[in-house]
């Protein structure tokens, strides 16, 4: 199959390797990317008690190991790309605001670190934005000029590309707050300060409280689980558990409202869905598609909904494409 030309660079047509590091909540994922291929991958635990700065020596060692395995020196590489959650100033290469776990990294100069450790230039981007750029460069949305992404993990991350450009905004927060568009004004308090945000109503972290509030919870198969997440609720619904089915119906209503909000805000042709929730894509995508079709105002036609094939790789691809702009 012929691929259309990626808009955000090519991940290294000059053959030079991009080093990419994705600081996730549970794991730090590392990769070497050459011409759109993740040629080496590694993963380190995040160890929340060490913050982000405390993990950098381990990240340095792991990058060194990956390069040595490929018989590469840092000087053979195009640069180092870093993705983190939170608000990232891509122009300055610093984090402006982030969740508690990595709070020590606010204001930290990743550029100085990359220069000191590897004598390489560094790009920094929000993880959902990097994922969307990666999907456009090499993934499920190749060549799209207008697309949004929602990634359903512990929280719900989003990003938008409009008219061929990643949306960052005046204060670096545009496009990434789709998980904090309220889907219930009388809803739960969110960790962002708002009430009834999509992720406070239907993100992974909100699910145990949501399930326990259901009047039938004690009699449901869900009460037997030690931890409750997307998978447990979807499986309970699939096995005929009434409480599970009702919860899933509520969740699908919130998730589809979140998708419609992104469509109404950013006018995409394609919505990319990603994250752990998409392990249940066979069940969920038709349900979401139907609701989005009913509720979105798109007189020009129907927004395509696609699912990321390799969510881990998409962030790494996106960082590589930022290091190799056309
Ligand atoms: Zn919120």
pLDDT digits (tens, 9 = 90+) for 282-311: 999 999 999 999 999 999 999 999 999 999
Sign of CA dihedral 262, 263, 267, 268: positive
What percent of the chain has pLDDT above 70?
A: 95
| CA of residue 231 to ligand 1 center, whole Å | 22
Report whether pLDDT(166) > 50. Answer: yes
Model confidence at 326, in pLDDT bands (50, 70, 90)?
Answer: low
What percent of the chain has pLDDT above 90?
A: 86
Tell me what pLDDT residue 10 has.
46
| CA of residue 136 to ligand 1 center, whole Å | 27
| CA of residue 199 to ligand 1 center, whole Å | 7
Q: Give the list of residues 6+ apart from residue 275 with CB closer than 8 angstroms, or none.
A: 150, 151, 152, 153, 156, 157, 311
| CA of residue 95 to ligand 1 center, whole Å | 19
Tell me what pLDDT residue 290 has.
97
| CA of residue 227 to ligand 1 center, whole Å | 22
| CA of residue 194 to ligand 1 center, whole Å | 5
Report whether pLDDT(5) > 70. Answer: no
Is residue 155 a contact partner of residue 199, using CB atoms and an 8 Å limit?
yes
Tell me what pLDDT residue 255 has.
98
Higher pLDDT pick, 8 / 250? 250
| CA of residue 13 to ligand 1 center, whole Å | 40
Please report where in the chains the tokens 């939170």 appear, as a residue: 86
Tell me what pLDDT residue 88 has.
96
Tell me what pLDDT residue 149 has.
98
Higher pLDDT pick, 312 / 198? 198
Dump pLDDT digits (tens) for 28-72.
999 999 999 999 999 999 987 789 999 999 999 999 999 999 999
| CA of residue 257 to ligand 1 center, whole Å | 15
Per the structure block, which two tokens stand in for 176? 């990434």
CATH architecture for the domain at 143-308: 2-Layer Sandwich (3.30)
| CA of residue 149 to ligand 1 center, whole Å | 17
Tell me what pLDDT residue 14 has.
61
Ranges of CATH 3.30.420.40 domains, the chain: 17-134+312-323, 143-308
| CA of residue 130 to ligand 1 center, whole Å | 21
What mean pLDDT comes out for the span 187-208?
A: 95
Tell me what pLDDT residue 99 has.
76
| CA of residue 26 to ligand 1 center, whole Å | 20
What is the rounded average pLDDT for all residues in the chain?
93
What backbone torsions phi and psi does residue 185 show, to the nearest 5 degrees? -70, -15
Report whether pLDDT(109) > 90. Answer: yes
pTM for the structure as a whole: 0.93
d(CA 141, CA 272): 7
Mention the CATH class of domain 17-134+312-323.
Answer: alpha beta
Q: Give the list of residues 6+ apart from residue 139 with CB closer than 8 angstroms, or none.
A: 272, 308, 309, 310, 313, 314, 317
Model confidence at 154, in pLDDT bands (50, 70, 90)?
Answer: confident
| CA of residue 229 to ligand 1 center, whole Å | 19
Q: Which residues lie near ion ligand 1 (Cβ < 5 Å)?
A: 180, 190, 192, 194, 197
| Whole-number Cα distances in Å, 105 to 20, 97, 110, 120, 221 | 18, 9, 9, 19, 41
What mean pLDDT comes out for the span 99-125?
A: 93
| CA of residue 180 to ligand 1 center, whole Å | 4
What mean pLDDT comes out for the span 273-282?
A: 95
Model confidence at 4, in pLDDT bands (50, 70, 90)?
Answer: very low
Burial of 119 (0-12, 13-18, 19+ CB in 10 A): exposed
Tell me what pLDDT residue 49 has.
75
| CA of residue 192 to ligand 1 center, whole Å | 4
What mean pLDDT comes out for the span 125-149?
A: 97
What mean pLDDT comes out for the span 68-84?
A: 96
Tell me what pLDDT residue 2 has.
40
């Amino acid at each position: 199959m012929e691929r259309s030309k990626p808009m955000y660079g090519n991940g290294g047509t000059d053959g030079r390797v991009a080093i990419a590091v994705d600081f996730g909540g549970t794991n730090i994922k590392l990769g070497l990317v050459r011409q759109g291929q993740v040629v080496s991958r590694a993963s380190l635990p995040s160890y929340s008690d060490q913050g982000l700065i405390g993990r950098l020596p381990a990240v340095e060692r792991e990058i060194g190991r990956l390069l040595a395995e490929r018989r590469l020196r840092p000087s053979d590489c195009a640069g180092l790309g870093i993705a983190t959650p939170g608000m990232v100033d891509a122009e300055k290469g610093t984090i402006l605001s982030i969740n508690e776990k990595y709070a020590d990294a606010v204001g930290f100069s990743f550029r100085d670190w990359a220069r000191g450790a590897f004598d390489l230039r560094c790009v920094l981007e929000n993880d959902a934005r990097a994922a969307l750029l990666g999907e456009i460069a090499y993934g499920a949305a190749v060549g799209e000029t207008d697309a949004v992404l929602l990634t359903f993990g512990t929280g719900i991350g989003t990003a938008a590309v409009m008219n061929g450009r990643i949306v960052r905004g005046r204060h670096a927060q545009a496009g990434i707050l789709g998980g904090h568009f309220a889907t219930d004004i009388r809803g739960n308090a969110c960790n962002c300060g708002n009430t009834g945000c999509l992720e406070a109503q239907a993100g992974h972290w909100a699910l145990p409280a949501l399930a326990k509030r259901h009047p039938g919870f004690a009699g449901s198969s869900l009460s037997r689980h030690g931890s409750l997440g997307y998978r447990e609720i979807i499986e309970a619904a699939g096995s005929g558990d009434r409480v599970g089915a009702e919860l899933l119906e509520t969740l699908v209503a919130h998730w589809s409202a979140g998708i419609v909000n992104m469509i109404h805000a950013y006018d995409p042709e394609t919505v990319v869905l990603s994250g752990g929730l998409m392990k249940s894509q066979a069940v969920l995508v038709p349900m979401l598609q139907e609701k989005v079709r009913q509720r979105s105002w798109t007189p020009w036609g129907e927004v395509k909904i696609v699912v990321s094939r390799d969510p881990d790789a998409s962030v790494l691809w996106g960082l590589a494409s930022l290091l190799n702009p056309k």
